[in-house]
Structure 1
């Protein structure tokens, strides 16, 4: 144990590159973690990688020599002074004032090598000269401005992009070089459609609450807690299909979804915005241990965008888990069915490209809901807060942007040779095998590394103490699941024929995600 109990150390604030002075309270040999207390009384359990000695920051500790102690002969009197810090000074966390609850977190090691002060005016302890510390403070303020600007611009940009893509796909040219006329307010807003969308969300909520499917535990969260989830997404998909079939039998025109596609998209965007406001207000009144590290910066706009609370719940009803797969993903399936029915109404026959696109996407949706339990090991559930970013993505972006190919084919019909159709089908099949095989392997390993199906796989330890797969699917590629996802996205874009920005948008958007994580 390199740090003695009671010694003063520098501790990284969880989820950031911000360092504060603290004190070692205890060491747990079983978990190999230190219990530390910050200057404001906040306690965390940290790994060795997130603790540095005070001396490495150019600071004096309790064991530093006294003023009366003589200076060593080899020490130059002209050396640069270091920054001294009073031990009576309080150190504030970068987020909102935290309660004195004990928390556990194991972030990755700081690679920047420089100390940063808290974003919310916290007192920092510099590791460089005063002029260098001033420069660091300016950089931090600049980053805060950038983060806030991004949190303001991105919601508008995402809504604009979604609506633009839908409008382009319905225009004769489907080209950004020949933009169509701007839609009127009546084309964007319809109160009746908004109420129908609210009814859709309520209907999916009722299906989620049904005592169907099994109840499983998720992975341990930062505080060690394991939440329970009811896995009945595929049941909800089947019940939704039965309900839609009954409505159609009773005379309801499901194809009208296409005629009001902009109304539904705007309604979904508005619901996601209102939901994110409610989520942020709610998060201001929950214990600090329930907050998401990345969404706890102290900047209201940025925290609202990323998500302030990790797992907002009402009893056993988990809002984030519900929105991840229910209203948006099943809504995407409903849109595909509407496009099939609409083409049959318009042309008296459903084209081969439309069949391929919708069947490929319905398989993707059905697979996600069949393997719903795998969602519990994803970053969205384990680490990401639930704010506007996830709410808009789940409720608006996924159903209306991922189904663009169907909208495009209704306005721009295409013919597809059987040879091309077979090749596209093979691409989809190969992509699905890679996607499902790698994801199942990863999920099995995360749940139980000793499972016979994955116990023989090779791993390497990460800086956070976790094991990283380097054999099986994950020994062939770094991100095989993303490659499979890309192959499937390409397979349902190719039936659209000559590429256009709108019809293939899903593929480059996922390619950008892959390049980001590499």
Structure 2
């Protein structure tokens, strides 16, 4: 006998468990995070990081009120920067559609379907870098100096776009037939708006979340780092080794991420998280601009490193990258074809839910061993800024909290998904991120 309608599983169940402190946490993220970005950039100026103005505000918060005039608030909006940023996004969308690329299948969704995604990010990145080179040869440093000269305006533009995208996908999620994320269907506006209500918002075959995940933020970050390098050269007449290290380390990471674009299809962001303010702001603004904090700091406050420091930091970055890329490649190869000669030797346990959990190789050392590689690289990006200032180390502080929180989220979801098999797995692979320590 076929099950009645009441017995059929609900495709879009109501969200009853909250993350990020629930609606209050969501409200804080939507309001505080953009303010924090402004503080970090407006508060780091040629006369100091933090600047004397920021110090006076921190020591006497009452000084903030006189600054909250309409004129000062409107000054963070820059029409030229806004038009430039929209033109940049339009170019990225156009390149996505026009640059050739293969279509690949994503993971199977809970409704049994698989979406197709266009893989051409690496070609688009190479095209973008080539265009920058042509502009530099034709117009000199002016196009890149525009970025440093209009930096706050560009940040504002990215925040406006992230909010607009968040509102658009939120209201579109109420159309009939939408597959919602399991964590963003609470019925509470601010929470669903922040966490993301729809799982895979699309305009035709154009997947908004997939596009935003790697294109605008990663590319902005790379371009801004190049722009800050040009600014330092303009100011000093040369580029310091510290700036070169940040440019190369972060640039390699960004290009490597784009080159391995299909790997993002198996991440939590794509498979289970909805697309809302968290991912929209996180990619347009947080990755696109805040990740360039070290390069901007070095453009304002050059640091000179010894050869010993250079070798140590380079070794740290290489070690982190090796762990990060090797472990991720091992996992992705195993997921696609466990009989591949490169991974067929790996031991695993088969779960009742279906997937196999690796208990040897990189993933036998720690359950989130790739996070260790990511964390070591984060240190290598901050250390070139020296030890005179805490400002450029905001990234490693934030990133440590992010990785631990993400690991806890993943552990909770895996525990629910795999049940007793997850307990068995944790007994076999007892370390979370750092073998022997955590």
- TM (normalized to structure 1)? 0.71
- TM (normalized to structure 2)? 0.84
CA shift, 1:201, in A, is 0.5
- In the alignment, structure 2 segments of 5+ residues that lack a partner are 58-63, 409-438
CA shift, 1:163, in A, is 1.3
Which structure has the bigger radius of gyration?
1
How far, CA to CA, are the matches of 2:19 and 2:317 in structure 1? 43
Change (3 A) 1:454 1:409: same
Task: List structure 1 segments (4+ residues) > 4 angstroms apart after TM superposition.
Answer: 143-146, 180-183
- Asked whether the equivalents of residues 458 and 469 of structure 1 are also in contact (C-alpha less than 8 Å), the reply is yes
Other-structure match for 2:47 = 172
How far, CA to CA, are the matches of 2:129 and 2:20 in structure 1? 47
Other-structure match for 1:43 = 9
How far, CA to CA, are the matches of 1:330 and 1:305 in structure 2? 24
* SS class of match (1:460): strand
> What are the within-5 Å matches in structure 2 for residues 429-440 of structure 1?
429-440=318-329
Change (3 A) 1:144 1:371: closer
How far, CA to CA, are the matches of 2:340 and 2:20 in structure 1? 47
How far, CA to CA, are the matches of 2:21 and 2:127 in structure 1? 45
Which has the higher relative contact order, 1 or 2, with Cα contacts under 8 A spaced 6 or more apart? 2
Other-structure match for 1:279 = 169
> What are the within-5 Å matches in structure 2 for residues 109-258 of structure 1?
147-170=22-45, 172-175=47-50, 179=54, 184-185=72-73, 187-251=75-139, 252-258=142-148
- Asked whether the equivalents of residues 307 and 387 of structure 1 are also in contact (C-alpha less than 8 Å), the reply is yes
> What are the within-5 Å matches in structure 2 for residues 61-460 of structure 1?
95=14, 147-170=22-45, 172-175=47-50, 179=54, 184-185=72-73, 187-251=75-139, 252-288=142-178, 290-460=179-349
- 1:280-322, CA deviations, whole angstroms, 9 ceiling, x for partnerless residues? 110011315x111111122222111111111111222111111
2:386 equivalent to 1:511: no
How far, CA to CA, are the matches of 2:20 and 2:166 in structure 1? 21
- Asked whether the equivalents of residues 169 and 404 of structure 1 are also in contact (C-alpha less than 8 Å), the reply is no
CA shift, 1:216, in A, is 0.9
How far, CA to CA, are the matches of 2:302 and 2:231 in structure 1? 12
**Bigger proportion of residues as helix:** 2
How far, CA to CA, are the matches of 1:465 and 1:500 in structure 2? 50
- 1:127-185, CA deviations, whole angstroms, 9 ceiling, x for partnerless residues? xxxxxxxxxxxxx8xx7995222221211111011111112332533138972577833
| Alignment coverage as a number of residue pairs | 392
How far, CA to CA, are the matches of 2:257 and 2:211 in structure 1? 13
How far, CA to CA, are the matches of 2:122 and 2:129 in structure 1? 11
Other-structure match for 1:68 = none
How far, CA to CA, are the matches of 1:320 and 1:201 in structure 2? 14
How far, CA to CA, are the matches of 2:237 and 2:75 in structure 1? 27
Other-structure match for 1:82 = none
CA RMSD of aligned residues (A): 2.4
- Asked whether the equivalents of residues 168 and 502 of structure 1 are also in contact (C-alpha less than 8 Å), the reply is no
How far, CA to CA, are the matches of 2:9 and 2:53 in structure 1? 59
How far, CA to CA, are the matches of 1:432 and 1:475 in structure 2? 18
* SS class of match (1:503): helix
How far, CA to CA, are the matches of 1:437 and 1:296 in structure 2? 36
How far, CA to CA, are the matches of 2:213 and 2:19 in structure 1? 29
How far, CA to CA, are the matches of 1:272 and 1:165 in structure 2? 19
CA shift, 1:458, in A, is 1.4
How far, CA to CA, are the matches of 1:360 and 1:470 in structure 2? 31
CA shift, 1:506, in A, is 1.6
CA shift, 1:94, in A, is 6.0
